[in-house]
Amino acid sequence: MTKDGDDSPAAPLEPLETTTMSDQDPQTAAPPPEDVPPTAETATDESLLVEATRTLAGVEVIADQVKRLPNAPGVYRMIDDEGTVLYVGKARNLKKRVVNYTRGQGLTARILRMVRETASMEFVQTRTETEALLLEANLIKRLRPRYNVLLRDDKSFPYILVTADHDAPAIVKHRGPRKRKGAYFGPFASAGAVARTINALQKAFLIRTCTDAAYDGRTRPCLLFQIKRCAAPCTGEVSLADYAGLVDEAGRFLSGKSKAVQAEMATAMHAAAEDLDFERAAVYRDRLAALSHVQAHQGINPQGVEEADVFALHQDGGQTCIQVFFFRTGQNWGNHAFYPKADRSLEPEEVLESFVAQFYDDKPIPRLILLSHDTPERELLEEAFSERSQYRVEVAVPKRGEKKDLVDHAALNAREALGRKLAETSSQASLLAGVARAFALPETPKRIEVYDNSHVQGTHAVGGMIVAGPEGFVKGQYRKFDIKSEETTPGDDYAMMREVLTRRLTRLVKENGSRDAAPRDDQGFGPWPDLILVDGGKGQLEMARQVAEEVGVLDQIAFVGIAKGPDRDAGREKFFFFDRPDIMLPERDPVLYFVQRLRDEAHRFAIGTHRAKRSKAIRQSTLDEIPGIGPTRKRALLDHFGTVKAIGRAGLGDLMEVDGISEGMAETIHGWFHQGEG
């Protein structure tokens, strides 16, 4: 990696051409006399001069780097004077690509702004251009530079996993890293799509969905066996060999061999009927019906597309929507709409290309990718994806036939999804403006934070913070706070609110500095809240005032307390302020409904966090309390005995048979369960 550490003087550069209201070059024109008041014309000249000077400084930084760059592929980063990465780009030839930024002419306003802010650059040389493309996508997702296309709402898609680490494999939903041994099928667009498919596959293939611990602890078949959704290998209702055949059929079906599996089932059904074994024939009949149900509820099921992802882009109102459809085994496994952040000056092809490269940075790549627009470097994408996946990947822009119909259908969904989002954004903007009017705020809030606490008689106490902005709830910004201060009395709502706000506001100032210096996006949304809503009356609001004063942000953030009316009825809420009397909004005021939604979301989030914490404490095993028992030994004991109760009944010799349990550890475990016994 090459960095800007050379202090050698840069080569002299010709000044950039600038347009001014004067016939003179702004860099040589004399400043106006001090006794002459500045006019609009001189002010314009001065601002253009400042911009030209800053641009020239950025050009000099880049030109200084160009002298040391190789004629080789790689990735470059443009960085501002605070160390923030502005842009990540890749190049087949670093020297030739970066030198373009020094020429001034032909650069868009966006690139000129980027050059103007550049204070340093960093480079990574790669062996090939395909490596550079993959590294660029990875760095963009990780660094999130301001001037790149950003995949804002990236997510981990769920998969179906057929496990392979047990004698009787299970079929389960999986999300996240693929650490567990088994066959993965997907992606699916939503967890609901996975649940529906697994439910149908249970009927068709009778594969278990229980955990290994539940399987090992069963002594008789569960309800799923009774309703014909599991073959019950746990109690020997089916042999492991026959069960393995069911698992193989399910794997083949999910791998795209659905027609062959169905044909085999139909043959077996007819054979059973001919043998007058009508009970067995009925089982095959029900399994075939379940498979038909899976295929009938997948929407569009293309005949000639076995495995593909379809990307269609639509732009309107300065925003972009990219609709992605997943097709596997000839079936539609769902779709998802993305709204990447991209500069308005970028062409649709550029946005789509950057999006697709980032999309597959951490996802498996199908053999066929269909696009709505022909991207500038489509062949390079093909080469990079093929190199990474170790099989040939085709990236195509279909012009006719069934594939073109799939792309057109995705484009229609993208257009409709963006239309709905624009309507929601417009409605959200009017609601935020209404909040500003109702609460007499100096300007329309772009970021609203709402706080609530949850506990049961002081136990498992948590605080929750939800965030809303110009595009609705921003769930990636939600935060939970475990109440852990020894000074906070259990069940004291005022003290809990004080702890939560102190931690939040202190960290806000520490990580983002002053309000004016904090970055904001093109809609004005940033890390600093414009309005904080506290669920509670005057007591909670007074606690918020004290915290804000101590942290030094009292004059930078508006605070409002929300309390339900005398009968705690929705619609009769009172709103409390620091410096003016409390108010109530008209019962049918849209702003009141909006604030109620914000408060209810904060309450839902806090309650959910509290319940999760409480459930975790309930689920915590007695084994966790035994000195010397960590996750590995705990797992080994449960795998061997099945339940904690069985471990407690085990003798020393039985405990020592477990991997990792020495004689001394066995005595510790046995003694823990038999304390006080004679």
> Residue 573 CB: number of other CB atoms within 10 A?
19
Give the H/E segment covering residue 316.
strand 308-316
Omega cis (within 30) before 566: no
528: confidence class by pLDDT, cuts 50, 70, 90: very high
Q: What is the distance between the alpha carbons of residues 673 and 524, in angstroms, rounded to a whole number?
A: 60
Q: What is the distance between the alpha carbons of residues 519 and 83, in angstroms, rounded to a whole number?
A: 13
Which of 8-17, 271-280, 429-438, 632-641 shows the lowest mean pLDDT across its residues? 8-17
Give the H/E segment covering residue 171.
strand 171-174
In tens, the pLDDT along 160-193 reads: 899 988 889 999 998 887 888 988 887 888 787 7
2: confidence class by pLDDT, cuts 50, 70, 90: very low
Residue 72 to residues 75, 124, 273, 295, 384, Cα–Cα distance (Å): 10, 10, 70, 50, 17
> Residue 466 CB: number of other CB atoms within 10 A?
25
- CA within 13 Å, CB half, 566: 0
Given a contact cutoff of 8 angstroms between Cβ atoms, the answer to whether 370 and 397 are in contact is yes
Which of 71-80, 258-267, 294-303, 522-531 shows the lowest mean pLDDT across its residues? 294-303
293: confidence class by pLDDT, cuts 50, 70, 90: low
**Phi–psi pair at 124, nearest 5 degrees:** -130, 120
| Angle of CA points 482, 552, 538, to nearest 5° | 65
Given a contact cutoff of 8 angstroms between Cβ atoms, the answer to whether 220 and 235 are in contact is yes
Q: Which two tokens stand for residue 580?
A: 């003016």
Q: Which two tokens stand for residue 590?
A: 């849209």
670: confidence class by pLDDT, cuts 50, 70, 90: confident
Q: What is the pLDDT of residue 478?
A: 92
Does pLDDT of 32 surpass 50? no
Q: What is the pLDDT of residue 614?
A: 67
Given a contact cutoff of 8 angstroms between Cβ atoms, the answer to whether 339 and 321 are in contact is yes
Closest CA to 601 of 425, 460, 452: 452
What's the average model confidence in pLDDT over 370-386?
92
Q: What is the pLDDT of residue 23?
A: 35
Closest CA to 371 of 419, 315, 323: 323
Mean of all residue pLDDT scores within the chain: 81
Q: Which two tokens stand for residue 52?
A: 């030209």
Q: What is the DSSP string of 426-464?
A: HHHHHHHHHHHHHTT-SS--S-EEEEEEEEETTEEEEEE
Given a contact cutoff of 8 angstroms between Cβ atoms, the answer to whether 367 and 392 are in contact is yes
Q: What residue type is 588 in one-letter code? A: R
Does pLDDT of 272 surpass 80? no
Q: Which two tokens stand for residue 374?
A: 């022909």
In tens, the pLDDT along 204-220 reads: 788 899 988 888 888 88
In tens, the pLDDT along 105-118 reads: 777 888 888 888 89
Does pLDDT of 505 surpass 90? yes
Q: Which residues pair with 409 in a beta bridge?
A: none
Length of the chain: 678
In tens, the pLDDT along 409-450 reads: 999 999 998 888 888 788 888 999 999 999 999 999 999 999
